[in-house]
């Protein structure tokens, strides 16, 4: 028995969606024949049939192939960042602006919070580092092998073509699932920490095979050094 379903939204035909979804129930199997989506805001409707109940499940779909195979692209968010935020660590000169500022002398005093005497501090000059304009990767999740790599390479190329950033790409590597760190993935692409000790840990891991399962749970701010850009684009 063949059934067809024209998706409606809120009781009215969605003007942004003209997709006809045909369901073929053959021997109890659901066969998705065709889904025509005119824009990314369209929703794919999948009907789940069981012996006890039927329910409609809606989910975003980027593309549908004949054999019910959903081809999902890499989820990647990035932005042009010109916030000039203060950063700490070891950065090459092409990544940071260094500013000097004068700190006035401070007399010896008792800290009520620390409950101890703070020694006097003479007047001196200090420096601060602010990050230069860059493309900041805020989110990356790959649905398939090579998609994450291609997404990062695309951002690096975009940064190279932008005279404001000249190839600068930054990110914050964090543990999301509580088990693994994406730092190994980015380190292989050429990204580095502004911390030599963290880079030594990652380099040792890479020399020992660089397996995803044994990647160190090292996190923090990472950047792509200028000399590593060719390696990243050719990875």
pLDDT in tens, 160-214: 999 999 999 999 999 887 778 899 999 999 999 999 999 999 999 999 999 988 8
DSSP 1-19: -EEEEE--BTTB--TT---
Q: What is the mean pLDDT of residues 64-81?
A: 66
DSSP 211-235: -GGG-----EEEE--GGGHHHHHT-
pLDDT for the residue numbered 180: 82
User: Exposed, middle or buried by CB within 10 Å (0-12, 13-18, 19+), for 64?
Assistant: buried
Q: Tell me: the pLDDT tens digits for 3-35? A: 444 433 444 344 343 333 333 434 444 444 344
Q: Tell me: the pLDDT tens digits for 77-136? A: 999 999 999 999 999 999 999 999 999 999 999 998 988 999 999 999 999 999 999 999
Q: Is the distance from CB of 77 to CB of 138 less than 8 angstroms?
A: yes
pLDDT for the residue numbered 212: 87
Q: Give yes or no for residue 229 having a pLDDT over 50.
A: yes
What are the residue boundaries of the structural domains of the chain, listed by start? 2-60, 92-131, 134-233
- Whether the predicted model's global pTM rises above the 0.85 cut: no
pLDDT for the residue numbered 14: 40
Architecture of domain 134-233: 3-Layer(aba) Sandwich (3.40)
């Amino acid at each position: 028995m063949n059934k067809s379903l024209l998706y409606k939204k809120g009781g009215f035909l969605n003007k942004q969606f003209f997709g006809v979804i045909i369901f073929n129930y053959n021997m109890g199997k659901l066969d998705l024949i065709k889904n025509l989506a005119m824009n990314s805001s369209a929703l794919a409707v999948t009907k789940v049939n069981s012996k006890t109940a039927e329910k409609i499940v809606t989910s975003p779909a980027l593309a549908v192939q004949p054999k019910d195979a959903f081809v999902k692209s890499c989820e990647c968010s990035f932005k042009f960042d010109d916030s000039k935020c203060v950063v700490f660590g070891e950065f090459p000169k092409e990544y940071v602006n260094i500013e000097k500022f004068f700190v006035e002398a401070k007399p010896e005093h008792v800290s009520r919070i620390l409950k101890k005497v703070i020694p006097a501090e003479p007047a001196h000059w200090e420096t601060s580092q602010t990050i230069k304009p860059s493309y900041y990767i805020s989110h990356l999740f790959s649905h398939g092998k090579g998609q994450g790599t291609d997404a990062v390479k695309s951002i690096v190329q975009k940064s190279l073509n932008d005279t404001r950033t000249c190839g600068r790409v930054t990110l914050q590597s964090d543990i999301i699932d509580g088990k693994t760190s994406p730092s190994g993935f980015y380190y292989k692409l050429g990204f580095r920490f502004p911390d030599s000790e963290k880079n030594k840990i990652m380099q040792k891991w890479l020399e020992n095979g660089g397996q995803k399962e044994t990647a160190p749970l090292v996190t923090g701010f990472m950047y792509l050094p200028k000399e590593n850009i060719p390696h990243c684009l050719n990875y």
